[in-house]
Amino acid sequence: MSEETFDVIIVGAGVLGVATAYYIQLNSPEKKILLIDRNLAAGQANTAMSAAAVRNMFASSTNQILTDTSIKYFEYVQNELGHELFFEKTGYLWLLSESQFKQESVQLWMQRMKASGVHYKVYNKKELKELIPGLNVDFSGDEEAELMHLQEADFGLFGGDCGVLDPTRLVEHYFEEFKKITHVKPRFGVCVKKLLLEAVPKLDLPGEPHVWQQKKVTGVITDKGTMRAKTVVLATGAWANELLDPVGIDSMTKAKKRQLFVIHAEDNPKLHDLLDTKGFNELGCIPFTILPSAGVYFRPQLQERGFWIGCGDKFGRGYEYIQTDDMMVPESAYYENSMYPVLAKYLPAFESARPVNSWAGGYCYSPDRIPFVYEECGVLVVNGASGSGIMKADALGRIADALYRGEPEAELFGGKHVSSKMLSIKDRNVEIESVVI
């Protein structure tokens, strides 16, 4: 089989791969860039599994800038470019007990948001109860709630610039724009088996590259043949380790299973009332809401007249080194025995509600919960979005492009500049993120 050569091969057409492909091609119009994925279309893996919520309410100023600029770009795409992303500003509502609210980490989170100009509002218990009459804010005398260690909702931390969108439409935006300017048709159903590691220069000695030779990743070995490129971009998310380990690059990421369960309001008037909660946003709907205990959250799904229920369980939910097929199977008992009892305690409207659909995927976690964008030996890696890759996609695509071009700084949407190496391993300059769902 003949070997093809490109300037750049981008492996992975999830939201991070397509955003990166678009920005690299936009700023290097002469380069031959090939985008490949083993799936049959773009955005079919974790991007499609996501709750697709977007928030700038992070504790680290690093994540604040990545998300705030990305969200503003999404608004621009929808409002100015006229590409419908179904971006709806539902807002994000964190329900917190008094002791949680007083924690140093929460106070610091609010201080940092204020300093960065991230808008938020604090509601007290009385205001919460007025806005969401169905919210149970008093667990006194409730033995079950005590047994479950449920904390009461004393405060609400609300961010009105946050919301939800359709990740398929977002992928489509970057992918379509990329296709307009690329010289090479993207290829699907192509699985990368290995990164091609070669000696530079090649001496054609048996067994090279030897330890004394300089070496570099010079392409990919796929099930459709070997392809060469000066730069290989790995945007393979929760599968990055499979390709990086064999060449000795430590990806430093781990995957964790995450699942979503869909509840429709159907003929339950209490669920309709909850969905139509007024006072938080112009849509007149309940915001994306995070309950005070157990990591349970839900988002409204207005088109389906329902809710997506998720849980960011921490201790007790194992890390996997890479995302396996088992991870992709949702666990109905998990909803039934873990999430549902919590949900129904805070919001009795969910009592006896059962999922009509569910799915599972994986978060690709970095140790500090901040993404990685770095280049090493011919490979440019974009991953570790730690469960919030949709909402950071635009900034990450621009940073990856600046790094590719050797620019010291990346210009994010709206004109803010950041170091193109701030998300790298060697020159990492980030604040640790504490607000991860």
- Residue 378 gets the label, from left (phi > 0), alpha (psi -120 to 50) or beta, of left
- Within residues 19-58, the interface with ligand FAD by CB under 6 A covers 37-39, 44-47, 49-53
Q: How far is the CB of 358 from ligand FAD (least distance, A)?
A: 10
DSSP string for residues in 222-291 = ETTEEEEEEEEEE--GGGHHHHHGGGT-----EEEEEEEEEEE-TT-HHHHHHHT--SSSTT-SPPEEE-
Nearest in space to 3 (alpha carbons), one of 184, 247, 222: 222
**The tokens of 434 are what?**
């504490």
Helix/strand/coil for 141: coil
Residue 294 gets the label, from left (phi > 0), alpha (psi -120 to 50) or beta, of: left
- Site size with ligand FAD, rule: CB under 6 A: 40
Task: Count the Cβ atoms, other than its own, within 10 Å of residue 350.
Answer: 23
Q: Binding string, 173-192, against ligand FAD, x = CB under 6 A?
A: ------------------xx
Which of 8, 16, 24, 379 touches ligand FAD (CB under 6 A)? 16
Is residue 300 within the footprint of ligand FAD (CB under 6 A)? no
3 versus 351: smaller Cβ distance to ligand FAD: 3
Cα–Cα distance for residue pair 123/157, rounded to 1 Å = 6
Site string for ligand FAD, 318-357 (x = CB under 6 A): ----------------------------------------
Q: Which residue lies nearer to ligand FAD by CB, 340 or 372? A: 372
Q: Which of residues 159, 300, 355, 361 is near ligand FAD by CB under 6 A?
A: 361
Q: Which of 17/355 has CB closer to ligand FAD?
A: 17
Any contact of residue 260 with ligand FAD (CB under 6 A)?
yes
CB atoms within 10 A of CB 112: 18
- Alpha carbon distances (Å) from 374 to 177, 328, 377, 398: 24, 28, 10, 13
The stretch near ligand FAD (CB under 6 A) out of 5-13, 71-79, 135-143, 344-352 is 5-13
Using rule CB under 6 A, residue 93 touches ligand FAD: no
Q: With binding defined as CB under 6 A, does residue 391 bind ligand FAD?
A: yes
10 makes contact with ligand FAD (CB under 6 A): no
Residue ranges in contact with ligand FAD by CB under 6 A: 11-17, 37-39, 44-47, 49-53, 191-192, 235-237, 239, 243, 258-260, 310, 361-363, 383, 385, 387-391
